[in-house]
Every structure is written in C-alpha cells, then in structure tokens.
Structure 1
C-alpha cells in the first residue's frame, strides 16, 4: 500500500494552546499566514522575473520549490531565448531556505520552462518535468523533458527527452506542454501526470515502472487547459481543470484509469482562467479520521486576484467557502503537505513580481472546526 506523503502534526490548535487564554487562542486562529520571499524581483541581477511555481515535499521531509528564471523578459517559452529552471530547498518546514540553485541552464537560444514534480514514495525518487524549446533552430516546436533526483533534490540527473513516449508524432508542430505544478503517485505505485495539446485537449501520461519508461493515454479530456489529477478514495481519478472564459473550474472523473471520462462544470469553484492546485491531504485508508482534499486558486470570476484555499470532505463533490490567503494580485499556485502536517502554499503574487511561500494549519483553514489527527482504533 502506498502511503501518501502525510505526516502527523499537533492536535487541534485550541487543545494545544497550553496556558493560553481563549482570547489568545482565538487570535491564533485569526492570524493571517506570513509570507517568505523565495523568488522575488530584484533577487538576482539581470533577471527579468520568476514565474510558474512548483513545490513538493521530499521523502525526507525537505521542501523543494522550483520555478522559471526568466532572463531577458517575462515572456513564456516561445517568446524567450533564455529561461532556466531553479530551485530552493528547506529542511525545517519552510522557515529557512537554501540559496538559489540552478537545475537547468541551457545555452542562450535554448529554454526550459514550466517545472512540475512527482514524488515516488516507493523508490524515494523525485521526477522533475519541464518543457523545452530551441528558439534558434526549431522555434515553436515543444519538447517534453524529465529529470530525476535520488537524494531529495540535492542533485539531478541529466535531462531525458520523453516527447516520443507521451505525445503523438503528428503533434510535432502543435502547442503542447506538460502542466506545471505536480503530478501524483496512485496507490498502485503508478505515476501519473497531465499534459495539454491546445489543438486536441488535455491528456494523461504515466509510468508503471517508476519512471524508467513513460506512456501516453490517448483519450482527450475537454474542456481543459492546465489541470491537475488526483486519485479519489474509491480509486477513481479526478481532474480539476482550468477552462478559459467560463469563470469556473471543470471537473472530469474516470473509473477506468483515464480511458473514459465524465465531465461537469463546478460553479462554486469560481476561477478567472488560471492554473490552480489540488492535493490529497488525508485519507481514511491511511488511518486518518476523514478524507480531505485541499484546493487553491485565484478565487475570482474575472481577474487574477484573491488567492484562496478550500477544503472538501466528500472527495470534491462539495467545497468549503474557503479562506483568503492574499487578497491582492494572485496567479499560479502550488500546494504541498509539510512534515509537521501543515499546508504549504507557493504562489505568484503582486503582478508576478513576487513568488512567496506560506503555511498554515488545518485549524486555521477551518476556523478551529477541524484538526489533523489519526483516527482512534
């Protein structure tokens, strides 16, 4: 049985306040999360901006935050001859971080963009995916790459081009890309991720041998742009999708590992058409008292503002109203669960000028109504 990367934290905030008064406990619950600048404008001389956050918790509990280092301008892959992938790591639940570390730095004219990661809890390996383009010789031709770390993100293997494994040959000139953020490991051990072809829709790709080879599931999922996949408690798959121009998210579910899909709009998950994040927080099968899924996005029908986090207790059928983490300009986000059980959020803010990390407890998210604990036997 594959155990999710979930770790035990303190019991409910109110019961762990020691000698705190009820007033002090209430203040703790209402305290807004603090932000740590990871990749903000001006950190490195000559860098135009940083974009596209991705964060995971390594098998040893370290946090790995990856992002685009966009050098000459803030444009996406097809408009920039110099985009690199960089990371910072934390070994204390996000309190302190390593200096910026370069993971991918191709010569000028070749760019790498849109990092995403999958943690293999069986082998301990971490896979990092990105999209590649040689703007000097093959402008507008997208290639799909993967790298691997076997030491919790300290070092990485050489890039491997897996385009032929996870995309059709006739798609060579299509606008295609691996979705940034993160993929998943199913309970069976299968690794699963999403990639988009803007001409034909969203597709899943995966590996049944811990990343030695990858394969493509030839079933388009529509409507969907940048999306995330998770496994539900009953073993089925759920894709939470960005759909531009609709003002809301769409959800696609599959009971046959992606061969067929059922599609539904989710009006309560308002969205301006932006990348979001969804992760499994707890599962009864892992010994927790409840199934919980966490979702983050720019909670707005129009305009990338109001970064908010919601929780679902019924496998995504309904969602809490959620709590706002940051009211201002907010765009892409990436969630992870920290070693201490808190929820970590890495997101773009203030018009892409800042990419910051914050964390908070389940008690804070639910105003003290819920806490992170194992079920009683």
Structure 2
C-alpha cells in the first residue's frame, strides 16, 4: 500500500512538472506563441506534388532563409524522381512575414537536385546552399555534390559549383552517398564544417578553411552513422550526432583534435 502511494505521488509530480513545462513553452521571450505558418505546401505556389527535406538558417543580416525540395511529379527521392527543384522563402522580421517562393536550383527534366543544407559564413558574409545532384537520363544512381552561394543574404545566388572531386573519392563514384540535409556550421576559428554519408564507406566530415574557396574531405570515417549533424562544443571539440538504422539508438561522436580521431 505504501509503495502504491509512493508510485501515485511520483506520477502526480511528473504530471505537475510536465504541465508547468507546457505552460512555459507557450511563451518565447515576453510574447505568447500564436501559431504556425505554413511555408511550403502543394498547391500554394506551383503544381508540385510534394515538398520535403526542409533546411533553415539565419543569414548574416538576421534574415531567415528556409529551403526545401520541390518534388514536382511525386514524393519519390532523388534516384527515382526526374524533377526535383530547390526553392526558398526569406523572412526579414524573424518569421512574422515571408517572401514568395523563389526557385534557386532548377535543372531540365531528367536532372534533379535534392536535400538542401545551409552553412552561414558570418566572417565573410556568405550563405552556402549545398545539394545532391543526379542526372537520371545519363548517369542514374551516380550522386554529385554541388553548392551555390549568396553574398546578399539570399536575395540572389551564384551559379552551381560541383565539389564532388574535392569532398569525395574516385572509387566512390557508384556508391550511395549524399551530403546530409539541414545545416553545417562555422567554428570559432572560422572553419566551415558539414557532414556527408557514404553507406558503404561511412560518415565523413568535410570542410573549408578559406571561406568556401576550396573544400576538403576529412578521411576519418565515423561508424555507425547515417544522416548526421555536426556542432562545436564550448571547449572547441567537435560533436557529430548520428542517426543509425536498425539499432534503436543514435550515436554521438566526439573529436578533440579537429577530426583526426573520434570517440563514439
């Protein structure tokens, strides 16, 4: 009986704590959260059947940039979809209002771009948008890595640059590989870092030390690891948090020597 009362008391305290958290969660600063804004949805701006794989960042001037796959004929992924574009919307007021949908990557039918990810270089004032590219008409199942950049906070973008040779290996050509979606980082010392996955040869970090002029691969594969995100910790160490298949767990990889070695 006493044990049962203790269990009931514990459950009551947990519920009380969660209720308090929920009430606090309604507020951001001094403003009451008022709802959600749908940025991308079939039928809003185009005939696209599906929008998937969102990414968002804060540009150097404070604007928000949201990017996503515009999957025109279906929700199928890159290797099965002949028409995927990358579109963005921008907000100058922390999400209160947004620009119309803008297409920033659009290839002819049969060529697709997918899985946008963003890195903000605050030192140089550049926003990088990475994506995975495939020509399904001529090289189906061959993945390429490309990037565009903006020097005016997302208002306009450069022509695509193919960086596959810089951050991949020739023997990987026919491997299932992709730059992970979402966002990379800039470290305290100005280095740009991001992650890519090769399902045969492991998760890798890649980066740039010259504000995106050149990119390189860190040849220290992390396993297990699939879609991942990288962060710099307060002590300067790098942390990669990784999704894994079939384990029921996520894996965290830590490097204290700038990617030369990892503890998982």
Fold shared, TM-score > 0.5 on shorter chain: yes
Matched, 1:245 2:246: yes
Aligned to 2:205: 204
Structure 2 residue 67 is the aligned partner of structure 1 residue 66: yes
Compute the TM-score of the two structures, normalised by the length of structure 2: 0.87
Matched residue SS, 2:165: helix
Offset, 1:46: 2.1
User: Residues of 2 paired with 1:115 and 1:39: CA distance?
Assistant: 14
Provide the C-alpha distance between the structure 1 equivalents of 2:46 and 2:125, rounded to a whole number of angstroms. Answer: 35
Q: Contact 2:45–2:101 (CA<8 Å) still a contact in 1?
A: no
CA positional deviation for 1:79? 0.5
Deviation string, structure 1 residues 177-216 (Cα, Å, up to 9, x no partner): 1000000001111100000001111000000000000001
Q: Which residue of 1 aligns with 2:258?
A: 257
Q: 1:80 to 1:233 in 2, by over 3 A?
A: same
- How far apart in 1 are the matches of 2:175 and 2:232? 29
* RMSD of equivalent CA atoms: 1.6
1:140-151 superposed matches below 5 A: 140-151=141-152
What residue ranges of structure 2 are gaps of 5+ in the alignment? 1-22
Aligned twin of 1:129? 130
Deviation at 1:249, TM superposition (A): 1.6
CA distance in 1 between partners of 2:249 and 2:169 (Å): 30
CA distance in structure 2 between the partners assigned to 1:27 and 1:177 by the alignment: 35
Structure with greater Cα Rg? 2
TM-aligned CA deviation for residue 27 of structure 1: 9.5
Q: How far apart, CA to CA, are the structure 2 residues paired with 1:99 and 1:34?
A: 20
Q: Which runs of 5+ in 1 are unaligned?
A: 1-24, 264-377
Task: Give the SS at the match of 1:170.
Answer: helix
Q: How does 1:159-178 map to 2 (within 5 A)?
A: 159-178=160-179
Q: Which residue number in structure 1 is paired with residue 236 of structure 2?
A: 235
Residue of structure 2 equivalent to 1:83: 84
- Structure 1 or 2: more helix by fraction: 2
| Partner residue in 2 for 1:213 | 214
Structure 1 segments, 4+ long, off by >4 Å, are 25-33
Partner SS state of residue 37, structure 1: coil
Q: 1:156: how far off? A: 0.4
Q: Which residue of 1 aligns with 2:58?
A: 57
The answer on whether the counterparts of 2:62 and 2:92 sit within 8 Å (CA) in structure 1 is yes
Structure 1 residues 126 and 28 mapped into 2: Cα distance closer, same or farther (>3 Å)? closer
Q: Quickly say closer, same or farther: Cα 1:136–1:92, change in 2 above 3 A.
A: same
| Structure 1 Cα separation of the partners of residues 186 and 118 of structure 2 | 11
- d(CA) in 2 for partners of 1:209, 1:35: 38
- Compute the displacement of 1:45 (Å): 4.0
Greater RCO (CA < 8 Å, at least 6 residues apart): 1
Cα distance between partner residues in 1 of 2:127 and 2:121: 6
Give CA-to-partner distance per residue, 1:69-117, whole Å, 9 cap, x none.
0001101100000000000000010010000001001000000000001
Deviations 1:299-322 (A, max 9, x none): xxxxxxxxxxxxxxxxxxxxxxxx
